[in-house]
């Protein structure tokens, strides 16, 4: 099956073209639309806007699914990977114990890396990155108040460093947490961060 817009070969059961993002309408759907158009009265502008919004949402989801399908194909897997972001971030607002955090920090060692058949097939639910980001934000706000409210110029370097590290380090923790095989230790992550930072 090929895209009618750009002629690119389509991934099986794909709703959108992976090359141009065009919505793929099958022959059955096309016939249904034609019959509905002939039989139905003129739609109001509100209904048309809702339909347009729905089409845009479907197109965005289709483009995302095609992107995950391509990444999946690069990894030797088949089909699209349906990822629900609400499910991924569901653990952020839950209460976590100190032991859960400690368990995260010992992953990636020879003793804690699971075997291939023991790796979870579900998408990991990261939460530690949000605590790290919150820590950086609170520290930044306190340093900001110290610098500008109290005219303490000595706090300015700390403000700059904390501000520049907040998002990159939190994102690094996020990607480390979403590593499903759990085969990279925090020690390796810290080493890469420091060596990469010094190198750059």
| Residues linked to residue 16 through DSSP beta bridges, in sequence order | 23
Q: Does the structure show a pLDDT above 80 at 105?
A: yes
Once rounded to an integer, what is the mean pLDDT over residues 156-167? 95
Phi then psi for residue 154, to 5 deg, are -70, -20
What confidence score (pLDDT) does residue 53 get? 76
Question: What is the overall mean pLDDT for the chain?
Answer: 80
| Residues linked to residue 9 through DSSP beta bridges, in sequence order | 2
- In this prediction, residue 142 has a pLDDT band, given cuts at 50, 70 and 90, of very high
Do 14 and 46 lie in one domain? The reply is yes
Tokens of 195: 């060596």
Q: Does the structure show a pLDDT above 80 at 151?
A: yes
Do 70 and 106 lie in one domain? The reply is no
Tokens of 176: 């480390």
Closest CA to 96 of 137, 132, 128, 135: 128
Q: Domain boundary at 83, 105, 129, which?
A: 83
Q: Domain boundary at 83, 102, 136, which?
A: 83
Do 5 and 75 lie in one domain? The reply is yes
- In this prediction, residue 145 has a pLDDT band, given cuts at 50, 70 and 90, of very high
Q: Domain boundary at 83, 106, 121, which?
A: 83
Do 129 and 68 lie in one domain? The reply is no
Residue entry with tokens 């509905």: 36
Span 169-197, pLDDT tens digits: 999 999 999 888 888 999 999 999 999 98
Do 61 and 116 lie in one domain? The reply is no
% of the chain beyond a pLDDT of 90: 37
Do 117 and 192 lie in one domain? The reply is yes
Distance between CA atoms of 46 and 48, rounded to whole angstroms?
5
What confidence score (pLDDT) does residue 89 get? 86
Supply angle C-alpha 106, 110, 113, rounded to 5.
70
List of residues 6+ apart from 71 with CB closer than 8 A:
81
Once rounded to an integer, what is the mean pLDDT over residues 133-151? 96
Do 5 and 89 lie in one domain? The reply is no
Q: Does the structure show a pLDDT above 90 at 55?
A: no
pTM of the full structure: 0.60
Span 60-104, pLDDT tens digits: 777 777 776 776 676 666 665 566 778 888 899 999 999 999 988
Do 33 and 107 lie in one domain? The reply is no
Q: Which residues form the domain of 70? A: 1-83
Residue 17 parent element (H or E): none
Task: Give how many domains the chain has, as a whole number.
Answer: 2
Do 44 and 32 lie in one domain? The reply is yes
């Amino acid at each position: 099956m090929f895209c009618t817009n750009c002629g690119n070969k389509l991934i099986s059961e794909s709703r959108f073209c992976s090359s141009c993002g065009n919505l793929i309408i099958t022959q059955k759907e096309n016939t249904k639309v034609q019959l509905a158009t002939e039989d139905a009265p003129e739609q109001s502008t509100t209904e048309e806007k809702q339909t347009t919004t729905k089409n845009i949402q479907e197109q965005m989801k289709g483009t995302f699914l095609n992107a995950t399908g391509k990444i999946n194909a690069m990894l030797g897997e088949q089909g699209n990977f349906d990822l629900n972001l609400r499910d991924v971030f569901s653990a952020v607002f839950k209460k976590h114990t100190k032991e859960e955090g400690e368990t995260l920090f010992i992953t990636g060692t020879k003793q804690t890396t699971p075997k291939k058949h023991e790796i979870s097939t579900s998408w990991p639910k990261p939460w530690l990155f949000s605590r790290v980001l919150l820590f950086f934000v609170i520290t930044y706000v306190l340093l900001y108040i110290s610098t500008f409210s109290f005219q303490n110029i000595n706090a300015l370097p700390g403000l700059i460093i904390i501000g520049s590290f907040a998002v990159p380090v939190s994102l690094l923790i996020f990607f480390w947490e979403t590593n499903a095989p759990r085969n990279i230790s925090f020690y390796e992550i810290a080493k890469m961060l420091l060596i990469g930072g010094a190198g750059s």
